[in-house]
Amino acid sequence: MEIEAAPDAVVDTEVDKDREPAWKWVALFQRLDRRTLAIVAFIFGAAVMLSYRPWRQIEVGDPAVYDYIAQSILRGQLPYRDVVDIKGPLGPYISAMAMFVGKAIGLRDLIAVRLMNVALLGLLSAMTYLVAERYLKNRLAAILAFLIPLMPEHFAMMSIAGTQPKLPMILFGMGALLLIARDRPFWAGVCSMLACLCWQPGLLFTGTAFLIFSRYLTSWRDLRALKVLVGAAIPLLVVLSYFYSRGALTDLWAWTITYNYGVFGPEATKGTGAAVVKLWRVIVRVFRPDTSAFGGSLLGMFKSRFEPLAGLTTLAMVPASLVGLLVFVFERVRMKLKSKGSMGSPDLFRDALFIPPVVYLAFCLINFQAGPDLIPFFPFIGIFAGWFLVRAGQTIASVKWIKQRRWAASDAWVPGLAIVLVVIVIVMRTVTYRVDTWTLQYQDQEFKTLSDLLGPDDKIYVHGTVEILVLLNRPNLNPYVLLDWDADNFAGARIPGGWNAIMDEMEAEAPKLVAISRLRTVTHRTDLERWVQDHYDKLDMFRYERVFIRKQR
């Protein structure tokens, strides 16, 4: 028996014209077709992201590293060989393409990337809506699914201010889930591997597709599972062939596979208890901002009164999504226990909705680093929180004394009111948002001092503060822009002479400017700091304290 695709019609409760106005409100959504609502989700999601002024956000952190890699690609350099990195290559290549197109139409490279991210986030909103509607078969839950991830300001900040590989990773992953629901095993395999090529944990979408199309490894004769593997193999082979042809396949393998599993994984792994504590602390920080930072202005006072309720509402979506996930899994398991032929069921594809977040949560309990690691969770938080609210509405509406009151006997009230509340939070946050005084434009002004010090042939070495390279659009002295978690020893082990040879070569090149930061987990931190102390003087800069110029001999 073949796995059937989900029907195009949404299996919502039928609209009863004799019921209260709440049903007429639901009917408004029923009259709109799926494509129209997906377009609305795209426009709304993109508009929300634009309201956070991506063209003014500072260049900093990991996004700066990936923007630098994208610039390096346009200079003809290769990731891993010419710029060390540990994630898949697709994210920076997508940004390099945006930079190339932006340059052709007169846009600054960084602005082109940020506008591309706005479009990707709009697409993620649309894709989240489509996936939720297919899998949950409830339009109100699907609307909540794409709205809820737009509530936290931090989600926008993590996603729009530069290249963020986790963003295309989850976008391709959601595309794979939609293709699974539409019974497209080959294209689900292609899309899932694209997710993996952005960031390696995206491979979980390939595994999910393989499990569903093989009916949990019980069916092979229809060749659907094989089609998944063939689809996944094609983009992987293209990437491997490209790096092989450029003589950098060993570098790709060393940094994305060997280092991750042999060095970074063991070094960065925490105990489960510590991982849970850190995960929850980051969730609270991301979903409930600190109101003390709003200042004493009229706007600040308004936000300080509005944000506690908005923050608690936003944070509440996390436990709501967890309960919704448990409810969804319970319903799927109960269905399987009741049905003897559950592996051949036409709705077996719905299991694909809970496998990725569960697997990714297990991954985070092993290796969770910072807020951006939450990005792959956001669509699922929206989906399962929406499912929880729909189920809560149905449960409340089934209570006997409520059923006796016609005005309250609608299971659309809870999700409907939730949609109104979520939209209010989103609108109020976007309308009252103000960019910090330290902006991309101020960074440009400060780095003009550095630009004036450098001649066309002068070299620069940067570790950590990669935004300097990005804003000056200059190549680094060597590939090592970030060497945390024992990456310095790993880099040294790959060349004759080890780490000392790297340091000797840096001194031989005598870069005019040096900037070092993010050294907390660098094994040879002392060596770098001693080298700078011996050969460089500190530059007086407003925001950057660890920028140095070569001593005059």
pLDDT of 75 higher than 80: yes
Task: Give the residue, 275 or 185, on which the prediction is more confident.
Answer: 185
Q: What residues have CB less than 8 Å from 2, skipping those under 6 apart?
A: 183, 222
pLDDT, the chain, mean: 88
In the predicted model, what is the mean pLDDT of residues 319-335? Answer: 93
Element of type H or E holding 268: helix 265-268
In the predicted model, what is the mean pLDDT of residues 32-39? Answer: 88
pLDDT of 68 higher than 60: yes
Q: What residues have CB less than 8 Å from 85, skipping those under 6 apart?
A: 65, 66, 69, 79, 92, 255
Query: Residue 106, by phi and psi: left (phi above 0), alpha (psi -120 to 50) or beta?
Result: left
Task: Give the residue, 405 or 331, on which the prediction is more confident.
Answer: 331
Query: Residue 472, by phi and psi: left (phi above 0), alpha (psi -120 to 50) or beta?
Result: alpha
In the predicted model, what is the mean pLDDT of residues 537-549? Answer: 91
Token readout for 134 is 């297919």
Predicted pLDDT at 274: 84
Predicted pLDDT at 143: 95
pLDDT of 83 higher than 70: yes
Cα separation, 68 vs 62, whole angstroms: 10
Task: Give the residue, 7 or 101, on which the prediction is more confident.
Answer: 101
pLDDT of 522 higher than 90: yes
C-alpha to C-alpha distances, 250 to 107, 168, 185, 552, nearest whole angstrom: 35, 25, 31, 40
Q: Could you report the per-residue pLDDT of 4-34, keeping only the tens digit for each?
A: 444 444 444 433 444 444 455 555 666 678 8
Predicted pLDDT at 355: 96
pLDDT bucket at 291, cuts 50 / 70 / 90: low
Neighbours of 316 (CB within 10 A): 13
Asked whether 251 and 340 are in contact (CB, 8 A), the reply is: no
Token readout for 526 is 């002392």
In the predicted model, what is the mean pLDDT of residues 527-541? Answer: 94
Cα separation, 192 vs 206, whole angstroms: 5
pLDDT bucket at 127, cuts 50 / 70 / 90: very high
Cα separation, 498 vs 484, whole angstroms: 16
Give me the sign of the Cα torsion angle 241, 246, 249, 254: negative
Element of type H or E holding 8: none
User: Which stretch of 6-20, 55-69, 226-240, 325-339 has the lowest confidence by average pLDDT?
Assistant: 6-20
In the predicted model, what is the mean pLDDT of residues 157-172? Answer: 95
**Closest residue by Cα to residue 429 from 241, 221, 289:** 289
Cα separation, 396 vs 406, whole angstroms: 13
**% of the chain exceeding 70 in pLDDT:** 88
**% of the chain exceeding 90 in pLDDT:** 69
Q: What is the DSSP letter of 480?
A: -
Cα separation, 129 vs 141, whole angstroms: 9
Furthest-apart CA atoms within the chain: distance in Å: 91
Q: Where are the domains of the chain?
A: 21-432, 440-550
Q: What is the DSSP letter of 262?
A: I
C-alpha to C-alpha distances, 124 to 119, 178, 501, nearest whole angstrom: 9, 12, 45
Q: What is the number of H-type helices and E-type strands within the chain?
A: 25, 4
pLDDT bucket at 292, cuts 50 / 70 / 90: very low
Asked whether 367 and 268 are in contact (CB, 8 A), the reply is: yes
Cα separation, 25 vs 144, whole angstroms: 15
Cα separation, 487 vs 491, whole angstroms: 6
pLDDT of 367 higher than 90: no
pLDDT of 244 higher than 90: yes
Q: Could you report the per-residue pLDDT of 254-271, keeping only the tens digit for each?
A: 999 999 999 988 877 777
Asked whether 354 and 324 are in contact (CB, 8 A), the reply is: no
At residue 271, φ and ψ (nearest 5 deg) are: -65, 155
Cα separation, 70 vs 483, whole angstroms: 19
C-alpha to C-alpha distances, 426 to 43, 44, 232, 421, nearest whole angstrom: 14, 10, 37, 9
In the predicted model, what is the mean pLDDT of residues 232-252? Answer: 97
pLDDT bucket at 77, cuts 50 / 70 / 90: very high
User: In terms of DSSP bridges, do strands 513-516 and 547-550 run parallel, antiparallel, or are they unpaired?
Assistant: antiparallel
Q: Could you report the per-residue pLDDT of 443-489, keeping only the tens digit for each?
A: 999 999 999 999 999 999 999 999 999 999 999 999 999 999 999 99
Cα separation, 37 vs 464, whole angstroms: 43
pLDDT of 43 higher than 60: yes
* 3-state secondary structure at position 368: coil
Predicted pLDDT at 63: 95
Predicted pLDDT at 432: 86
Cα separation, 75 vs 67, whole angstroms: 13
pLDDT bucket at 495, cuts 50 / 70 / 90: very high
CA quadruple 275, 276, 281, 286: dihedral, nearest 10 = 90
pLDDT of 210 higher than 80: yes
Q: Could you report the per-residue pLDDT of 133-163, keeping only the tens digit for each?
A: 999 999 999 999 999 999 999 999 999 999 9
Give 299-306's long-range contacts (Cβ < 8 A, gap of 24+). Answer: 299/432, 299/434, 302/432, 303/432, 306/428, 306/432
Exposure of 20 in the CB half-sphere (CA atoms within 13 A): 12
